[in-house]
């Protein structure tokens, strides 16, 4: 990831924050959000963004999706925090 101190992320009705290198961030993309630059600059900003459906499992043998054991039982954010989606992430709330 590459960033600079003048790039900010902001969700609707929230203060802007700088996304630091070395951290994973999660948000509800149904809420309006943006990334913006506070100064004119040629600095690059590169972040890896992954969209996921943690209640679904993909079967490459028949190109299909099916619900998994968490479907309707555990919220996707709780799955992320508990390591059901990616292991080894530490969360600060």
52-89 pLDDT per residue, tens: 788 999 999 999 999 999 999 999 888 888 888 888 77
pLDDT at position 85, please? 85
What are the distances in angstroms from CA 40 to CA 15, 21, 31, 36, 54? 21, 21, 27, 11, 38
pLDDT at position 93, please? 62
- CB-based contacts of 61: which residues, under 8 Å, 6+ apart? none
In the chain, where the domains are located: 1-50, 52-93
Instruction: Tell me the pTM.
Output: 0.64
pLDDT band at 1 (very low <50, low <70, confident <90, very high): low
């Amino acid at each position: 990831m590459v960033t600079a101190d003048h790039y900010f992320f902001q969700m609707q009705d929230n203060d802007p924050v700088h996304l630091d290198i070395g951290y994973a961030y999660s948000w509800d993309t149904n809420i309006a959000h943006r990334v913006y630059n506070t100064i004119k600059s040629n600095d690059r900003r590169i972040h890896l963004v992954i969209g996921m459906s943690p209640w679904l499992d993909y079967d490459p043998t028949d190109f299909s999706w099916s619900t998994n054991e968490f479907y309707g039982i555990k919220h996707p954010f709780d799955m992320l925090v508990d390591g059901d989606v990616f292991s080894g992430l530490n969360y600060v709330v």
